[in-house]
Amino acid sequence: MLSVAARRHLGTFRLDVAFATEHARVVLFGPSGAGKSLTLQCVAGFITPDSGRIAVGDGVLFDSDRHLNVPPWQRRVGMVLQAYTLLPHLTVGENVAYGLGPIWRDRRRVRAETLLAVVGLAGYADHLPAQLSGGQRQRVALAQALASEPRLLVLDEPFSAVDAPVRERLRRDLLGLVDTFQVPLIFVTHDFGEAYLLGQTIVIVAAGRAIQIGPPAEVARHPRTATVARLVGATNILEGEVVQAAAGRLTLRAGNLIVRTSNGSRAAGRRAAFSFRPEDVRIIPAGPDVPAARVTGVLPRNGPATVLLTLGDLTLEASVPHPPPHVGSSVGVEVADGAAQVLEGDGAQAIE
C-alpha cells in the first residue's frame, strides 16, 4: 500500500496532491511545472510538506498530525534522476556501493557486482562513468538506487536524456527489476505512452493537484475533464447540445456531427463538453446521414497516419490506416458509437 498526501506552499505555487493505491507501480504524469518532481521530493524527504501523511506499506515516513518526519537517509527510498548522479572520479562499482553503511562493509564489492550483473553490466565494475554510454550510466544509477535494498524506488524522468531505442530497453528492464526485487515504484514522466506502459496506477497531476487517478486504460478511455483529455491524447475536445438522454447515455450534436457517449447525466437541451480519441474517428463514404469533411492535412506516422479534418466550424483529428486520404479530398466522418466521453466541470472555457 502506498499512500501520499502532501500539501506545501512555495511562493505562488501550492502543492496539494493526494493518492493511495495497492499497486506496486505508480506513475505521476502531467505537464512540466505541475508538481510531479516536488511530490517525489516530499516522498524522499528532501522537502518537508506543510501538512499531510506519507506511508509505504506499514512504514509511515511523514505525518504532520503526529509530528513525525523520518530523515531522508532513514527512509530507504532509492532515487534515480534525469541527470546522472554518478561521481566521475569513482569506478562504476564504487558508485553502486556508494552510501552503503557499515552493515555492507564486507560485501560492498560483491553487492555492487551482483547488481551490475542484474542490470546487464557484468564486468563493468572497474570502468569509470565517462567510459559508458548514456544508457549504461542510467543502468548504473538504477543499480545504485537498488543497492541498499530500498522499500521504495522513485524515478524522476530518468530516461528522457537517452534516445528512443535505448529508452524502450530501459523501460522493459525497469519492469523486470521491479518484479525481481519486489520493490514498489513511483515514476515521473510527461510522456503518456511511457506512463501507460509502466504504470499500474496513473496519477494525473496538473497545477499542483492530482486531478484523476486510475488504471492506464481507464484514464485513457474515460478522461473526466478537458485538461485530462488533452493530456492523454484525446485531441478532439468539443462542446455540443444534448439531443437525447436515456439510460446513462447521451446523444450530442456539435455542428453537423452526431456523437453518442457511454456516460453522462445531462438533460436533453443542455450543453455539454465531450472528447473522443483520434482512433475513434472513422473515415467512410459521405451520404445523407454521414456528414462530409474536408481533409486539410496528413501527418505520416510509422503506424496509422493522423489526418486533419474540417467539418463546418469543427476541426478534428483522425487516426487512420495507410493509405490515408489525400489533402483536399472530401470524406465522410463518423465517431464510433459510445466512444465520446462527457467531461465534468470544464465546460467551453477549458476547451480553449
Rounded mean pLDDT of 192-214? 95
* Contact status, residue 126 vs residue 91, Cβ threshold 8 Å: yes
Query: What pLDDT does 81 receive?
Result: 86
Alpha-carbon separation of residue 156 from 99, 173, 191, 219, 239 (angstroms): 20, 16, 12, 21, 36
Q: What is 226-351's CATH number, 2.40.50.140, 3.30.2040.10, 3.40.50.300, 1.10.10.10?
A: 2.40.50.140
Query: What pLDDT does 125 receive?
Result: 92
Rounded mean pLDDT of 70-94? 89
At 94, the amino acid letter reads E
* Contact status, residue 195 vs residue 155, Cβ threshold 8 Å: no
Report CA 257 to chain centroid distance, whole Å: 31
DSSP string for residues in 190-253: S-HHHHHHH-SEEEEEETTEEEEEE-HHHHHH--SSHHHHHHTT--EEEEEEEEEEETTEEEEE
Domain extent listing, the chain? 2-221, 226-351
pLDDT tens digits along 101-160: 665 667 888 888 899 999 999 999 999 999 999 889 999 999 999 988 899 999 999 888
Query: What pLDDT does 101 receive?
Result: 67
Share of the chain above pLDDT 70, in %: 95
* Contact status, residue 143 vs residue 100, Cβ threshold 8 Å: no
Mean pLDDT of the chain: 90
* Contact status, residue 44 vs residue 79, Cβ threshold 8 Å: yes
Query: What pLDDT does 108 receive?
Result: 82
Query: What pLDDT does 278 receive?
Result: 94
Rounded mean pLDDT of 77-96? 88
pLDDT tens digits along 285-300: 988 889 999 999 998 8
CA dihedral 57, 60, 65, 66 (to 10 degrees): 130
Rounded mean pLDDT of 259-283? 90
Query: What pLDDT does 160 receive?
Result: 83
Q: What is 2-221's CATH number, 3.40.50.300, 1.10.3470.10, 3.90.226.10, 3.30.450.20?
A: 3.40.50.300
